[in-house]
Amino acid sequence: MAAPAGLQVSGVTVRFGGLTAVDGAGLTAPPSAVTGLVGPDGAGKTTLCDVIAGLRRPAAGTVRLGDADLTG
């Protein structure tokens, strides 16, 4: 039996006008796992979290939670 899918972020790109804030980001977090997102100031951590939370739509890529596509 396959393990249940957790959070999967694949190829997420976010642009603000001519500025690419996140370019092809991806991560996988298994169910019930504690996962951290670290990086320097301006790396796009908050923007990526906004995409995962559904507060911002990516220009490209997908966010999936289990079998559900959260990017619509």
pLDDT of 19:
96
Distances (CA, A) of 59 to 24, 27, 53: 10, 17, 15
- The pLDDT tens digits of the residues spanning 19-46 come to 999 999 999 999 988 999 999 999 999 9
In tens, the pLDDT along 58-68 reads 999 999 999 99
The predicted model scores a pTM of 0.88
Instruction: Sort residue 48 into left (φ over 0), alpha (ψ -120 to 50) or beta.
Output: alpha
| pLDDT for position 5 | 79
